[in-house]
Structure 1
Amino acid sequence: MTESPALPALWPAPVAPGAVDATVTVPGSKSVTNRGLVLAALSSEPGWLRRPLRSRDTLLMAEALRTMGVGIEETASSSSSSSSGSSGSSGGEAWRIIPAGLHGPATVDVGNAGTVMRFLPPVAALADGPIRFDGDPRSYERPLGGVIDALRALGARIDDDNRGALPMTVFGGGALEGGRVEIDASSSSQFVSALLLSAARFNQGVEVRHVGAALPSMPHIRMTVDMLRGVGAQVDTPEAGGEPNVWRVTPGALLGRDLVVEPDLSNAQPFLAAALVTGGRVTIPDWPERTTQPGDALREIFTAMGGSCELTDQGLTFTGSGRIHGIDVDLGEVGELTPGIAAVAALADSPSTLRGVAHLRLHETDRLAALTKELNELGGDVTETADGLHIRPRPLHGGIFHTYEDHRLATAAAVIGLAVEGIEVENVATTGKTLPDFPGLWTDMLNPAVPARRA
């Protein structure tokens, strides 16, 4: 396959010519890839990540670990790579991670990746020497104070000019005492995951006690725990009979692992939405029967909105009925799905209320304000609530859909464009943050004459 062409500043979102009927192989999970990289870097022996996601966020994570001394070797099998499609392919790729003594001085570019800016400061505290963290301008606005305060309470020395945000420097001392710490993670579950991922290397392990409002995105914490246990860590959790909102990790060595990364189910969302919007059918290969990924909730949510799904050995097949129903749903555990659900809801036959997602105001952009503004400027009727959105479907018209450098707003705009002529997506290239060559995949899905592309 030839290189993908340069993307225009305003990408004309294609209108669906009819009901889609496609198989779309989505790349690996960003959340699994970046957690896997951190755990492998902290292990006592080399490990493998197979079919990792290659996107801006994961490449930033890999490069950050390299700057701290970790070896990461990238390989691809010739038999898989020849048919794998675009440069974002993970079909035959494998990364070998070789732990080493973590050291500074080093500078980490976090971009605008929440996993990088939050997961790596605890790793840096274990390094020998200073590690500076910097990133995109938006990264300075994203919440980080919970991680900074918790690390200080556990014995780390950090210079952030009392901002509670980037840029900052972690002065690694080669070890961290660890122990008990309270943290308000109501703005991001990544605060808890950040401490848990490195905790087995702390002298006393860690006991993380969440204090504050309800925790969002609990599936991501369960993913962290599941992956920790997969490399031999002992983790006590509320679900296992422990105290509510308390997680404990016992100090000990982490084992090297050979991990195959699952497809990113949240990145499958726009393609499943296409089946719902067009009354068509889309199959996502390799959809896991059991997973901690929040994107698995799409099966239930999109079925309630008018479709049906079947999970087989070949993957998940989702079929639209030709009608889209509104929904009243609490998305607190799966907030990252909100933009795509809002896009579908704007095309439904009845109103929708999306609740439990106040924390989205602190994501790549203020997603609630952005969705309200962009959908209303296309003729929609969206009201921002204290913790979500109320969407009353109206006939929409074409126009520019601004994305605020937020990948999920870009894919949501593409979903709207399936049913509304004249949608122009600003900076669709921002989808490269987690979903390489999204425009190519989208075009292939709508053009059955082109063989299915692997991302």
Structure 2
Amino acid sequence: MGCLRALGAEICRDGDTITVFPIKNPTEDSLLDCGESGSTLRFLLPVAAALCQSARFTGKGRLPERPIVHLADEMKKHGVAFSAEKLPFQISGRLTGGAYFLPGNVSSQYITGLLLALPLLSRESTLNLTSKLESGAYVRMTLSALERFGIHAEVSGGTYAIPGGQTFSSSEALQVDSDWSNAAFFLAAGALGGKISLTGLDLNSSQSDRAILDLLRRFGAEIEVRGGLVTVSPGKLRGCEIDVAEIPDLLPVLSVVAACSAGETRFTNAGRLRLKESDRLTATAALISSLGGTVTELPDGLLIGGGKLSGGVADSFRDHRIAMSAAVAACRCARPVTILGADAVRKSYPAFFEEYAKLGGRVHVL
């Protein structure tokens, strides 16, 4: 919201309701502080270039090291100059329409950013994927949102045709889906500790991380869905093989479940996790190992030997998903788990430890 305000949007918050008034006169050379958010950076880079002649971007943590090269290269070919290769930098020059080419297996956020920006340009554009799309659910969510705001894009295979000169319009209040990615931590805790029930989850959501229910079933957890209530209880857990190409954010917490299951679990197609808030493959392997589990790190996956976790000191690597996964692991550990950098949860779930305590978890701040 801070970046949108910097671009000229008026945003008002009243409890759980947020009202956004459109940008009428974009602010030139505004400073957009993306914090540690890769999605904010990748979404707003092309949007700012479509709206303004210049803008400045900054960020912190690992964000300056996270990849934007494919997106930046395409923007450079279409009228935008970058003052540096990584944050902080300034962009200058208006984005122009035309043919864009991006890999589909690096970050779906590149695609979302351009799908948001290209309708604002004066001429038609095409966005062409040069490799198989991964995390495709997020692109489908983007297209659905665009449609609700009156924006049209034609999809044919790996090509998106986006007419220029379109106008975003909203005539209705929007209800935001509950977040399956964050719900996954408590659902996994239900499989490892005691029965946990969650309300407010849309079982028909287009979020890919809704797959957490089916995956916990595969491990052997007991799942009950009744009305709007989802309940997960421990079962006889056994390892399995999981392709995480479409659900990379679930790997850390599923690795905890795997470490507490009988037999081996193999996670495949996880190479993109090396480009997250941490090298999330290495960080997850370190988490499991530090708590007494058996894990082998592979170039694009993990092999986890089942059994049990003992507890100990876990480094979050300043990664919110590693910190929350460590807390879930504590449900099954014989000894306490001390999480270094636990405040990393503030990035996506500031109230995580409060909710954890409400469910019976014991939390002590050192």
TM interval, short-chain normalised: over 0.9
1:145 pairs with 2:66: no
Deviations 1:198-250 (A, max 9, x none): 221122243111113x332111111111111111111222xxxx1x3222222
Q: Secondary structure at the match of 2:62?
A: helix
Task: Tell me, in whole angstroms, the C-alpha distance in 2 between the residues paired with 1:310 and 1:198.
Answer: 42
Residue type at the aligned position of 2:103: D
1:378 pairs with 2:294: no
Task: Tell me, in whole angstroms, the C-alpha distance in 2 between the residues paired with 1:414 and 1:222.
Answer: 32
1:400 pairs with 2:321: no
1:86 aligned residue = none
1:268 aligned residue = 183
CA separation of 1:414/1:354 partners in 2, compared to 1, >3 Å: closer, same or farther?
Answer: same
1:183 aligned residue = 102
1:387 aligned residue = 300
Quote how far apart the aligned CAs of 1:405 are.
1.0
Q: Secondary structure at the match of 1:169?
A: strand
1:63 aligned residue = 2
Quote how far apart the aligned CAs of 1:447 are.
6.5
CA separation of 1:377/1:286 partners in 2, compared to 1, >3 Å: closer, same or farther?
Answer: closer
Q: Secondary structure at the match of 2:356?
A: helix
Runs of 5+ unmatched residues, structure 2: none
Quote how far apart the aligned CAs of 1:283 are.
2.1
Q: Secondary structure at the match of 1:383?
A: strand
Quote how far apart the aligned CAs of 1:144 are.
0.5
1:347 pairs with 2:260: yes
CA separation of 1:65/1:205 partners in 2, compared to 1, >3 Å: closer, same or farther?
Answer: farther
Q: Secondary structure at the match of 1:177?
A: coil
1:98 aligned residue = 22
2:153 aligned residue = 235
Quote how far apart the aligned CAs of 1:312 are.
3.8
Deviations 1:296-347 (A, max 9, x none): 11111011111233334323222332x2221201110010111010011111
1:317 pairs with 2:240: no
Quote how far apart the aligned CAs of 1:158 are.
2.6
Task: Tell me, in whole angstroms, the C-alpha distance in 2 between the residues paired with 1:304 and 1:118.
Answer: 34
CA separation of 1:155/1:311 partners in 2, compared to 1, >3 Å: closer, same or farther?
Answer: farther
Q: Secondary structure at the match of 1:268?
A: helix
2:87 aligned residue = 166
1:428 aligned residue = 342
Task: Tell me, in whole angstroms, the C-alpha distance in 2 between the residues paired with 1:435 and 1:172.
Answer: 36
Quote how far apart the aligned CAs of 1:159 are.
2.3
Task: Tell me, in whole angstroms, the C-alpha distance in 1 between the residues paired with 2:228 and 2:284.
Answer: 34
Task: Tell me, in whole angstroms, the C-alpha distance in 2 between the residues paired with 1:310 and 1:200.
Answer: 43
Deviations 1:161-197 (A, max 9, x none): xx2x322211254xx3212111124221111111111
Residue type at the aligned position of 2:191: L
2:195 aligned residue = 281
* Aligned-pair Cα RMSD in Å: 1.8
Task: Tell me, in whole angstroms, the C-alpha distance in 2 between the residues paired with 1:144 and 1:419.
Answer: 39
Q: Secondary structure at the match of 2:35?
A: coil
1:415 pairs with 2:333: no
Q: Is the 8 A contact 1:402 1:426 kept in 2?
A: yes
1:248 pairs with 2:161: yes
Quote how far apart the aligned CAs of 1:394 are.
4.0
Q: Is the 8 A contact 1:196 1:206 kept in 2?
A: no
CA separation of 1:443/1:186 partners in 2, compared to 1, >3 Å: closer, same or farther?
Answer: same
Say which structure, 1 or 2, has more relative contact order (CA 8 Å, 6+ apart). 1
CA separation of 1:137/1:307 partners in 2, compared to 1, >3 Å: closer, same or farther?
Answer: closer
CA separation of 1:218/1:128 partners in 2, compared to 1, >3 Å: closer, same or farther?
Answer: closer
| Match for residue 335 of structure 1 among 235, 248, 253 | 248
TM-score with structure 2 setting the length: 0.93
Runs of 5+ unmatched residues, structure 1: 1-61, 77-91, 449-455
Task: Tell me, in whole angstroms, the C-alpha distance in 1 between the residues paired with 2:199 and 2:162.
Answer: 35
Task: Tell me, in whole angstroms, the C-alpha distance in 1 between the residues paired with 2:331 and 2:5.
Answer: 41
CA separation of 1:310/1:229 partners in 2, compared to 1, >3 Å: closer, same or farther?
Answer: farther
1:218 pairs with 2:136: yes
TM-score with structure 1 setting the length: 0.75
2:206 aligned residue = 292
Equivalent residues, number: 359
Q: Secondary structure at the match of 1:126?
A: helix
Task: Tell me, in whole angstroms, the C-alpha distance in 1 between the residues paired with 2:43 and 2:290.
Answer: 37
Task: Tell me, in whole angstroms, the C-alpha distance in 1 between the residues paired with 2:43 and 2:17.
Answer: 24
CA separation of 1:172/1:446 partners in 2, compared to 1, >3 Å: closer, same or farther?
Answer: farther
| Match for residue 118 of structure 1 among 27, 38, 42 | 42
Q: Is the 8 A contact 2:287 2:326 kept in 1?
A: no
Residue type at the aligned position of 2:223: C
Q: Is the 8 A contact 1:307 1:320 kept in 2?
A: yes
Task: Tell me, in whole angstroms, the C-alpha distance in 1 between the residues paired with 2:136 and 2:181.
Answer: 15
